[in-house]
Amino acid sequence: MRKKLFVSILSIMVSFALFGQMRPGWINSEMRGMEFPSNVFFTGYIGGTTRSGETLETAKQRLSRDAQSELIESIRIQIVSTTDSESRSIRINQTERLTSEFTARVQTVSEAKVAAMRTETFFDRETRMIHAFAYVRITDLANYYQSQISLWLNEVEGTLNTAIQLAERGRKRQALEKSEAVIELFANVLYAQDLLTAISVAKGQRANDQILQQNRSQQLRNRLIHTIADLENSIYIFLEIVEVVDGESVDFITTRLPGILTDKDCNCNFTEFEDQADFVIRINARLVRCWNTESDVAFCTASATVSVLNTHSQRILRPNIPEVREGWTRNDRERAIEATFRTLTNTIAEQILPMIRN
């Protein structure tokens, strides 16, 4: 310690005596390595001159950013040498698209400004050189990211719960947007976990789960993956149904059709918001007529016109729905009407299922 202090003081005295300037010790690579050892600091150094038309202050700012980038790159190299972020991303999901997104977002985070980083510049009037130096104490960095993991995971959980709630309310688009926001948040978590792992390895230690919270993050990642998969694979349907009997509105089809489609494994979710739907189905149904027979059986007929709009292709299909007839004993007209609309509902479901599956 005394030797290092003596060398630092001597370097400063020599620099000041030779150049009349208080030259910082970090300008010299050897001194930089002694004052900022790699087991204590991450560092980045850049030297350069002003460009044509560039002020000294602007050049200092540019080189400061370059020095910060050098520091960040040194962190990235340390992480890559001790962890495998890409393979971790592959393990946490089932789709290639999500894999590439996680990997890309982690890379984006790693290029962001590092917390607790400090930057200094020095302009050498003798050589006209500008020196920029960025550094961060490894323990400060580790403490920051260790405390942030819990905060980010709390934010992940809250945002993911919001996405699930939006999906349950039929808000597919907003649910997907929230899920994408969760991916952004997870990028922070994954970067922090990789960084803390790299720091632990550099110290000859092993980062424990209490610090990394990998079990919790794994559970949340699984929920996210399933949520996105459900949203992307599910068909969201908006139903607009008008059904009339004797001039009065009824709800025979309205109450039965969603259940029939679900039972036939259409992988459907029904939304009250037309702008959220993958398919917009419009049905106009009416009772045509009823009559009694000599055998005391009441018969009724009903018809419907149906359109199926694919909101992505904007293609409209109009299935041909045949008129249906059903009867009921004892001239029970009400039962005959209900039976007729039940059959009409089944007929509509059979016609539209192939359209929404394709």
pLDDT tens series, the chain, 358 aa: 444 544 454 454 444 444 446 889 999 989 999 999 988 898 999 999 999 999 999 999 999 999 988 888 887 777 766 655 434 443 344 445 555 555 555 555 554 556 678 999 999 999 999 999 999 998 888 888 888 888 989 999 999 999 999 988 888 889 988 998 888 888 888 888 888 887 787 677 777 778 889 899 889 988 998 898 888 888 999 999 999 999 999 999 999 999 999 898 888 889 989 998 999 999 999 999 999 998 999 999 999 999 999 999 999 999 999 999 999 999 999 999 999 999 999 999 999 999 998 6
The reported pLDDT for the residue numbered 196 is 84
Name the phi and psi angles at 43, rounded to 5: -135, 160
The reported pLDDT for the residue numbered 134 is 94
Question: What CATH class is the domain 235-357?
Answer: alpha beta
The reported pLDDT for the residue numbered 79 is 72
The reported pLDDT for the residue numbered 144 is 85
DSSP 27: G
SS3 assignment, position 137: strand
Any idea what the Cα angle at residue 71 is, between residues 16 and 134, rounded to 5°? 30
Rounded Cα–Cα distance for residues 140 and 304 (Å): 70
Where exactly are the structural domains of the chain? Answer: 2-136, 140-232, 235-357
Count CB-CB contacts under 10 A for residue 86: 15
* pTM of the entire predicted model: 0.62
Sequence letter at residue 299: F
Any idea what the Cα angle at residue 132 is, between residues 126 and 135, rounded to 5°? 140
The reported pLDDT for the residue numbered 83 is 57
